[in-house]
Copies of this chain bind each other. A is one copy, B any other.
């Protein structure tokens, strides 16, 4: 029943490809239908109402194409919109914040956790809420990092200026004895090496980076298995990528991130503010 349908994954743009990549790796038999809202990226600085409305439009589009589950592969949309979206749609909806919080709680040894994210994600307090639900005694310290996304999009991944920006943001978390640091935006794993390097220098040598995508893919696998919804594809499936703007630019970025080759992307606008 519906097992051969693809997994719908969406993000404000290219960042969610780090989640898609993890799903492809842990669930190699599943097809992915990806939507990147490249016309309206970034979500990180937008209001709850706007992010919820954009997400709603995209889920409607993905459902019209036929998907068995939705993965909100955007921390901002996960933090601001997922509660509302779950109440509105019948399809199972996974987010990245709850799995990210669980992974961070599992990773910490001293109970002191740092969160890096967009303005919207940090302001929502959703990581804090999820972590305190797990264990109210955790120490949670967060920092919004609005420049990380534009730096990744500029391609300054291994760069001294990017290192300085990371240092500036992380210096706010200095002295908190954090041992587990969440990359709370799907773009951030692309800066992983540099963040790791600076975190060890600024925060402490025993700090571990947590990528919510890994735990999200794991929980997706459990959910599909429990509901008997795993596909029985025996060949490597073809994934499909839709974007709301700049299909060509998206494709070259996607090809640099994913191990599979993105053969086709399509510009598809979704209706807004109906």
Contacts and interface: CB of A to CB of B under 8 A. Distances in A.
Interface residues of A, number: 28
B272 A47 contact: no
A67 to B, nearest CB: 22
Nearest to A274: B271
B147 A246 contact: no
Nearest to A41: B45
A258 interface: no
Interface stretch (A27-35, A148-156, A186-194): A148-156
A47 B245 contact: yes
A153 B273 contact: no
A6 B149 CA distance: 37
A244 B46 CA distance: 10
A240 interface: no
Nearest to A54: B39
A149 B269 CA distance: 25
Contact of A39 (B50, B146, B149, B269): B50
Given A147-B151, A272-B272, 18 more contacts: A39-B46, A41-B45, A45-B153, A45-B246, A46-B246, A47-B245, A49-B245, A50-B244, A146-B154, A147-B150, A147-B154, A149-B150, A161-B161, A161-B168, A164-B164, A269-B272, A269-B273, A271-B273
Interface of A: 39-41, 45-47, 49-50, 146-147, 149-151, 153-154, 160-161, 164-165, 168, 244-246, 269-273
